[in-house]
Every structure is written in C-alpha cells, then in structure tokens.
Amino acid sequence: MTPPTGVLGTGNAHKVRELQELLADTPVLWRSLAEFPGIPEVPETGQTFAENARLKAVGYARAIGQWVLAEDAGLMVDALGGEPGVLSARYAGEPRDDRRNIELLLQRLKDVPPERRTAQFVCHMVLADPAGQIVAETTGLCRGRITDAPRGDHGFGYDPVFEIPEYHRTFAELGLAVKGCLSHRARAAQAMVNHIRRLVTSGRWRGE
C-alpha cells in the first residue's frame, strides 16, 4: 500500500528539508509546496505565530485539497520587547535576506550587555485536513542568547547568532543533528508526530 501523503506549507527549501527530517518517523510521505507551482502564496497577515500558521495551513489545504502542515516561527529578543517576532524573516525589509536581518539585529543590540541578550525561538505548527479544517496545533520553544557576531556555517536564518548556553555554541555551530533535538521546530514537530500517527492509524487521513 502506498503511504498517505501530506504537504508542507512552506516554500522555504531549508525548512522543507528540516521538517522532512523531523517528521521522518511519521507514516506519511511529505511533499513540498514547491510541487504545486500554481498555488498562490498565502499572505502572512497575522499578529502572532499561531495566527500566521493557521492562515497558511487552512489556505493551502483548501487550495490544494490535501492535508497540509504549516508552521510559523521566529526569534523573540527580550531586550527588544520581543522583536523581531512575526517579522523575523523580513526584519530588514524586502527582499528577505538572512544576512541583513542579522546585521540589523546586532546593530540594535550593540550596547546591550551579554546577560541581557536573552532570547527565544518560537514555532507554532498547525495541521489542516483537505477541507481546510484545523485538526491539531502544537508549539515549541527554545531559549538562548544572542551573540556579538555570527558563528558557524550550518543552519539558516538567525542560527549563527543564537547560542545555546549549555553548549556555548550557536545553532549554526551545533549542526542539524543537535538542532534536530533542541530546536523550537523540533519540539513542535515531536508533539505533532503523535497527532499525525493517530490520524493515520484511525483511517481519517485516507478518508476512511
């Protein structure tokens, strides 16, 4: 029997690869949104990560007519009142650029001492059925601190400046193996796996 399929509601190739690895234990074949080139991008107009994740999951599920797992994630820096928050990907404006985002973040933190550079990554995941009904939601958090300069060659986004205190290394230095256990996205995915397995086992995923 062919495995049931689902669609990852993101056009970000880095996120697709990471999510496919995090969801490898589910009995679902995960496809990328890039396989549906005619689908218009769902605007992220929400004020929170949860709102944006819901918009994407529902919007893409209705457009494609398949199960869709969408997420919205970002960085919240305590000394900046939670910035960049939902604007993490476009913090320095359009077009989106990781390097410029990091440069702006470090500039705004240049006079902030190390003990006050605390931050957290947040990820909210939403699973919607082919009719666009929300079936499950999970959230993952990861605490850390912002470094004075980028370090490491792995990862994407703010990974080079987000240090895990227990390891004294940034996500970009730790690599995907460790990040796959500790990250906000990993924690949200681990909680979502249980929902997915239940839906497949019950037959609901295939519409049985």
CATH of the domain at 96: 3.90.950.10
184 is in an annotated binding site: yes
Question: Residue 83: what pLDDT?
Answer: 97
Question: Residue 13: what pLDDT?
Answer: 86
Please give the tally of structural domains in the chain: 1
What tens digit of pLDDT does each residue of 47-75 get? 999 999 999 999 999 999 999 999 999 99
Question: Residue 208: what pLDDT?
Answer: 64
Q: Widest CA span of the chain, in angstroms?
A: 59
Active site residues: 72
CA dihedral 194, 86, 183, 70 (to 10 degrees): 30
124 is in an annotated binding site: no
Q: Is residue 208 part of a domain?
A: no
Give yes or no for a contact between 71 and 137, defined as CB atoms under 8 angstroms apart: no
Question: Residue 207: what pLDDT?
Answer: 82
Give yes or no for a contact between 189 and 180, defined as CB atoms under 8 angstroms apart: no
Phi, psi dihedral angles at 30 (to 5 degrees): -90, 125
Give yes or no for a contact between 135 and 127, defined as CB atoms under 8 angstroms apart: yes
Phi, psi dihedral angles at 146 (to 5 degrees): -95, 130
Closest to 158 in 3D by CA, of 113, 82, 103: 103
Q: Is residue 207 part of a domain?
A: no
49 is in an annotated binding site: no
Give the whole-angstrom CA distance, residue 21 versus residue 180. 8
159 is in an annotated binding site: yes
Q: Is residue 132 part of a domain?
A: yes
Closest to 122 in 3D by CA, of 181, 172, 167, 187: 187
Q: Is residue 42 part of a domain?
A: yes
Give the whole-angstrom CA distance, residue 22 versus residue 183. 11
159: domain range?
A: 5-202
Q: What is the mean pLDDT of each run of 10 residues along the chain (208 residues)?
A: 92 88 94 92 95 98 97 97 96 94 98 96 98 98 97 91 95 84 93 96 88
DSSP states along 175-207:
HHHHHHHHSHHHHHHHHHHHHHHHHHHHTTTTT
194 is in an annotated binding site: no
Q: Is residue 148 part of a domain?
A: yes
